[in-house]
Amino acid sequence: MSYLTDRKRATGLGSAKTGTEHFWLMKVSSVALLLLIPLFVFTFGPMLGETHENVLAYFARPFPAIVAALTIGVTFMHFKNGAQTMIEDYVHGTSQKMAIIFVICLSYAAVATGLFAIARIAL
């Protein structure tokens, strides 16, 4: 059994240069969501179950539409990075790459769909 650590193996190889990028993206999106989530819950929430006409009229207004668009965009980018971390912990090899690619594609597809829908309602 070898007691050589990962740290010892890495010493002297230099930095990977992008090591803190993922952490920073999570931090920025989490701070943004701290503001966006309460705004979204209390604008989208009351509209859930409303009549179709009321929903169209409400999300044609600038504030609810912008909050909804930002929330969907930032949420799925936050999810993309967070889910990637989870996959990296539990899935390995080719399955890991496939799972990460799937999560990234799903996230962008959800953002595109959400933004299209809100733009169509708002404009």
Binding stretches for other proteins (CB under 8 A): 1-5, 9, 27, 30-31, 33-34, 37, 41-42, 44-46, 48-49, 52, 55-56, 59, 68, 72, 75-76, 79, 82-83, 86, 110, 113-114, 116-118, 120-121
Closest CB 107 distance from other proteins, rounded Å: 9
Closest CB 121 distance from other proteins, rounded Å: 5
With beta carbons less than 8 A apart as the criterion, state whether 78 and 33 touch. yes
Nearer to other proteins among residue 14 and residue 49 (C-beta): 49
Rounded distance, CA 65 to CA 49, Å?
17
Nearer to other proteins among residue 31 and residue 105 (C-beta): 31
Distances (CA, A) of 122 to 25, 55, 56, 115: 29, 10, 8, 10
Closest CB 45 distance from other proteins, rounded Å: 3
Distances (CA, A) of 19 to 15, 80, 83, 104: 8, 17, 17, 19
Closest CB 83 distance from other proteins, rounded Å: 6
With beta carbons less than 8 A apart as the criterion, state whether 82 and 33 touch. no
